[in-house]
Amino acid sequence: MSGVLFWVVCPKGSSTVTSILSIMPRKPERRTVRALLSSPAVNDGSTLSSEERVYEVVLRQAALVRRETVPDFSSRRTIQLAEGEIGGDSRGAAGATLPAGGVLLNEAYDRCGDVCAEYAKTFYLGTLLMTPERRKAVWAIYVWCRRTDELVDGPNASHITPKALDRWEKRLNNLFEGRPYDMYDAALADTVQKFPVDIQPFKDMIEGMRLDLRKSRYNNFDELYLYCYYVAGTVGLMSVPVMGIAPESKASTENVYNAALALGIANQLTNILRDVGEDARRGRIYLPQDELARAGLSDDDIFHGRVTEKWKSFMKEQIKRARKFFNEAEKGVTELDSASRWPVMASLLLYRQILDAIEANDYDNFTKRAYVGKARKILSLPVAFGRAIKGPSKVVDSTRSS
Ligand SMILES: CC(C)=CCC/C(C)=C/CC/C(C)=C/CC/C(C)=C/[C@@H]1[C@@H](COP(=O)(O)OP(=O)(O)O)[C@]1(C)CC/C=C(\C)CC/C=C(\C)CCC=C(C)C
Ligand SMILES: [Mn+2]
């Protein structure tokens, strides 16, 4: 590929991160997250369950955030465009220097905003309620996530190999080190310098895409949970440092991160329940095999799209579980910074209503697509506002130490 390589002068130092890690209250064992997450997922008494392993990641991410610190947007860093690498219409002028907050960097963020507006209009409108700095950062993260998903789900997906994902990961490492390849990467490179966003959830999302390349069945919920963490829980962990935690919040950082993780898991479970038919047509069944078998259902029932009583009661249980994750997430939304609460609450309420739509379709998720209509979307906004305005809980979280 040809084009322009951006690089950022003055890459982020890691001394703050190290010092925060050293005061972490419940410091997990120093194993790498990849090692933690690649060991067997089944909890047979001697190994940790996926939920326990992901929780260790949550603890680490929570430890990286220093509370009551406003990100510094006034820095004089510059981003420089250099020769080579990935092009397309996201190229800039080789050799040009981009002062932080300068025209080209602003353009990079604007392009990220355009992508959001095109792919996720409602979400884009929600971001307009955030502060300008947070909104731009969320756009940059969104675009990276969307591009990552497109690698395995987009028009070129059939050509994607694990090697291509390795290259994508290398590119991720580069942008975190201040050497972004294109405009979109440059926006994210700037974001990760301004906010305490860690690389781990991004790497884990790529790991989820690797899983999608090699796995089309999930034996049990433990396996599915890990997949949901990789492709969606990670989004929650990437977002909290940008959304910010309310200065007056009495919740522990780890509980806020846990709620964010729960929102990602809830969203992905909902995605899976909505898309059962579509996924089956691609030979994929994400639903836990052991739960299907216990309900007297087989892959064949799914491939034939049989909406039987067995299927309906199975779906009821799956929906119940997804709602539990939404409820857990909802408790955390009010702990976020005031300007972020409303859009996040709105997105939660909107996504949760997809579950209602599956019920309204009488559990036919093979031939009918569950969606939330415009009127309901609009009605959800004041409801979200009413819940978001409440603000943080007054109860001091016993696990809070930061
Ligand atoms: C305390 C608290 C509750 C904080 C909130 C934290 C927060 C903002 C969490 C956001 C959670 C969220 C929106 C997760 C996205 C989950 C998701 C749907 C992932 C999808 C994966 C693959 O799915 P699949 O291929 O099955 O589905 P498609 O048919 O392709 O849709 C993803 C597509 C991965 C890629 C994810 C995105 C493109 C969304 C990224 C979103 C953000 C960065 C912004 C989040 C911010 C707000 C305000 C919701
Ligand atoms: Mn996808």
Q: DSSP string of 206-236?
A: HHHHHHHHH--EESSHHHHHHHHIIIIIHHH
Q: Whose CA is nearest to atom 22 of ligand 1?
A: 231
Q: Whose CA is nearest to atom 10 of ligand 1?
A: 236
What angle in degrees, to the nearest 10, is found between the helix axes of 200-214 and 132-153? 20
Q: Whose CA is nearest to atom 47 of ligand 1?
A: 344
Whether residue 184 contacts residue 111, with contact meaning beta carbons closer than 8 Å, is answered with: yes
Cα 307 to chain centroid distance, Å, stands at 31
Q: Whose CA is nearest to atom 39 of ligand 1?
A: 142
Name which of 387, 335, 348, 344 is nearest 67 in CA terms.
335
pLDDT in tens, 1-27: 222 222 222 222 222 222 212 222 223
Q: What is the 8-class DSSP label of residue 30?
A: S
Say if ligand 1 is within 6 A of residue 144 CB. Answer: no
CA-to-CA separations, 112 to 83, 142, 217, in angstroms, rounded: 22, 8, 34
pLDDT in tens, 254-312: 999 999 999 999 999 999 999 999 999 999 999 999 999 999 999 999 999 999 999 99
Which protein residues have their CB within 5 A of the ion that is ligand 2?
149, 153
The token pair that represents 239 in the structure block: 């977002």
Give the largest Cα separation in the chain, rounded. Answer: 64
Atom of ligand 1 nearest to the CA of 340: 48
Centroid of ligand 1 to alpha carbon of 232 (angstroms)? 5
**382 Cβ neighbours under 8 A, 6+ residues apart:** none
Q: Whose CA is nearest to atom 2 of ligand 1?
A: 260
Atom of ligand 1 nearest to the CA of 278: 29
> What ipTM describes this predicted complex?
0.96
Say if ligand 1 is within 6 A of residue 264 CB. Answer: yes
Whether residue 76 contacts residue 99, with contact meaning beta carbons closer than 8 Å, is answered with: yes
* Residue whose entry in the numeric block shows the structure tokens 């209509």: 373
- In order of their start, the domains of the chain are 1-28+58-68+196-393 (1.10.600.10), 78-194 (1.10.600.10)
Ligand nearest to the CA of 145: 1
pLDDT at 284: 96
Gap between the Cα atoms of 257 and 240, Å rounded: 7
pLDDT in tens, 337-373: 999 999 999 999 999 999 999 999 999 999 999 999 9
